[in-house]
């Protein structure tokens, strides 16, 4: 697995796929190395994205075929996951900072896969549910919900999550959100204060969840 900024390989002549992968990858802070042929990729690339009809028998590292995923978002997320954590993990966590603007951080075995900011609760719930379903084989799955000062916001978010995650085997925990604005680590460049609060919420509770 790589350290620092993750890198994924993209081998295709399909410019539409290339453009979509690069666009989505930019929201994950991932470097995409695009080449026409696998041999042109650097040797430290461990995960490669391509079309099955272009390279049906590609034998190098971990290969992800676009045809096997419902969306480019899921394709890129899986590539990031394999690069950052590998194919095996035990702990999946989605942490949410509720409020007028909502932030969320998604982690596997304590490593950040992505962070997002949301304006609509529906988009947040959909993203959390998709993440939990994609990692249904994790031994432990948690949703951490920060107890914001506006209890009505927390109650609404909790009701929505309980309704949509009922059958996903995830444990929902409402956590004290005190001091999440001031962190244990420096804020990642480009991360909103809502995403950062969700990250600190995770770090404050990570040891007891392992």
Summarize pLDDT for 134-161 with one digit per residue, the tens.
998 999 999 999 886 678 888 889 999 9
Q: Residue 7's Cα: distance from chain center in Å?
A: 15
**Structural domain contains residue 56:** yes
Average pLDDT, integer, range 45-53: 95
pLDDT tens-digit readout, 108-121: 999 989 999 999 99
Q: How confident is the model at residue 5 (pLDDT cuts 50, 70, 90)?
A: confident
Q: Running DSSP on this structure, what letter comes out for residue 169?
A: T
The Cα–Cα gap between 209 and 146 comes to 15
Q: Number of structural domains, the chain?
A: 2
**What is each CA distance from 110 to 85, 88, 106, 153, in whole angstroms?**
9, 13, 9, 27
Residues 78 and 108 in one domain: no
Task: Give yes or no: residues 98 and 182 share one domain.
Answer: yes
Judgement on whether residues 191 and 101 belong to the same structural domain of the protein: yes
Residue 1 inside a domain? The answer is no
Phi and psi at 101, nearest 5°, equal -110, 130
Whether 68 and 105 map to the same domain: the answer is: no
Mean pLDDT of 68-73: 94
Nearest to 81 by CA among 45, 53, 101, 106: 106
One domain for residues 204 and 163:
yes
Same domain, 99 and 76: no
- 168 has a pLDDT exceeding 60: yes
pTM, rounded to two decimals = 0.83
- How many CB atoms lie under 10 A from the CB of residue 105? 27
Question: How does residue 72 score in pLDDT terms, banded at 50, 70 and 90?
Answer: very high
């Amino acid at each position: 697995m790589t350290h620092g900024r993750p890198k994924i390989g993209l081998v295709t002549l399909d410019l539409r796929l290339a453009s979509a992968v690069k666009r989505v990858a930019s929201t994950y802070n991932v470097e995409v190395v695009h080449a026409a042929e696998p041999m042109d990729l650097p040797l430290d690339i461990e995960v490669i994205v391509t079309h099955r009809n272009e390279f049906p028998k590609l034998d190098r590292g971990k290969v992800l075929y676009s045809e096997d995923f419902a969306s480019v978002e899921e394709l890129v997320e899986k590539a990031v996951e394999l690069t950052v954590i590998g194919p095996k993990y035990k702990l999946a966590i989605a942490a949410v900072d509720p409020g007028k603007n909502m932030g969320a951080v998604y982690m596997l075995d304590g490593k950040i896969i992505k962070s997002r900011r949301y304006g609509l609760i529906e988009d947040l719930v959909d993203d959390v549910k998709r993440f939990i379903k994609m990692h249904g084989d994790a031994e432990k799955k948690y949703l951490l919900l920060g107890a914001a000062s506006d209890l009505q916001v927390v109650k609404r978010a909790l009701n929505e999550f309980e309704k949509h995650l009922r059958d996903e085997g995830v444990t929902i925990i409402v956590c004290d959100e005190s001091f999440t604005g001031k962190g244990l680590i420096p804020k990642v460049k480009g991360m909103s204060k809502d995403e950062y609060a969700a990250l600190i919420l995770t770090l404050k509770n990570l040891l007891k969840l392992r």
